[in-house]
């Protein structure tokens, strides 16, 4: 099994080439770079970067061999990305997060040996006392789901997708890198 990667770099609109714009492009680039092992191991087939136009995200997507989709409405852009994704499964990841070591092995094992759930949720690494005591309270920052289920959900961010699709949590976490 393979998946298409969709990196969500939407956020508050920025104007010109401000430091916030460079930070958003840098966060998307780092998130994509963290998935090189998934590409090498044959899990990630293609990549799409979604975000505002004019911020260098198109260059990030091009350098990664992926596609950049821009638009003022994140939901419409997400729908376009799902239509353009080549695989039956998609990995939706918030820009600025990188799966920790072991992500590729865990997902490959689930696809190869286990019954893949409707969705596999990647949560942020614990960063508060509450999330250290109860890791299930950490925010979902990535989700692997069937493309059809993501299209039918009507939402476009990992946390909302996790609530709608009610998947299982992965053991590995994602660390903030942006």
Q: What is the pLDDT of residues 8-58, one digit of tens each?
A: 998 633 444 445 557 889 999 999 999 999 999 999 999 999 998 888 899
Alpha-carbon gap, residue 50 to 126, rounded angstroms: 26
pLDDT for 136 equals: 80
Predicted pLDDT at 104: 94
| Cβ count near 88 (within 10 Å) | 12
Task: Point out which residues pair with 146 in neighbouring strands.
Answer: 89
Q: Are strands 119-124 and 168-176 parallel, antiparallel or unpaired?
A: parallel
- The rounded distance, in Å, linking the Cα atoms of 56 and 62 is 10
Q: Both tokens of residue 82?
A: 């799902």
pTM for this predicted structure? 0.90
Domains, the chain, ordered by start: 3-176 (3.90.550.10)
Give, in degrees to the nearest 5, the angle at Cα 81 between 76 and 87: 145
* φ, ψ of residue 27 in degrees (nearest 5): -65, -40
């Amino acid at each position: 099994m393979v998946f298409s990667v969709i990196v969500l770099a939407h956020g508050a609109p920025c104007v010109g080439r401000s430091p916030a714009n460079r930070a958003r492009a840098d966060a998307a680039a780092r998130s994509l770079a963290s998935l090189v092992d998934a590409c090498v191991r044959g899990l990630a087939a293609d990549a799409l970067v979604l975000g505002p136009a004019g911020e260098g995200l198109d260059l990030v997507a091009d350098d990664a061999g992926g596609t950049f989709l821009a638009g003022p409405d994140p939901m419409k852009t997400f729908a376009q990305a799902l239509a353009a994704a080549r695989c039956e499964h998609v990995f939706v990841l918030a820009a600025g997060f990188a799966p920790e070591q072991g992500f590729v092995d865990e997902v490959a094992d689930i696809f190869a040996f286990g019954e893949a759930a409707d969705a596999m949720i990647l949560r942020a690494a614990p960063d508060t006392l509450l999330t250290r005591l109860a890791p299930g309270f950490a925010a979902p920052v990535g989700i692997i789901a069937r493309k059809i289920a993501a299209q039918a959900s009507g939402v476009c961010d990992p946390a909302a997708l996790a609530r709608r699709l009610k998947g299982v949590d992965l053991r590995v976490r994602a660390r903030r890198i942006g």
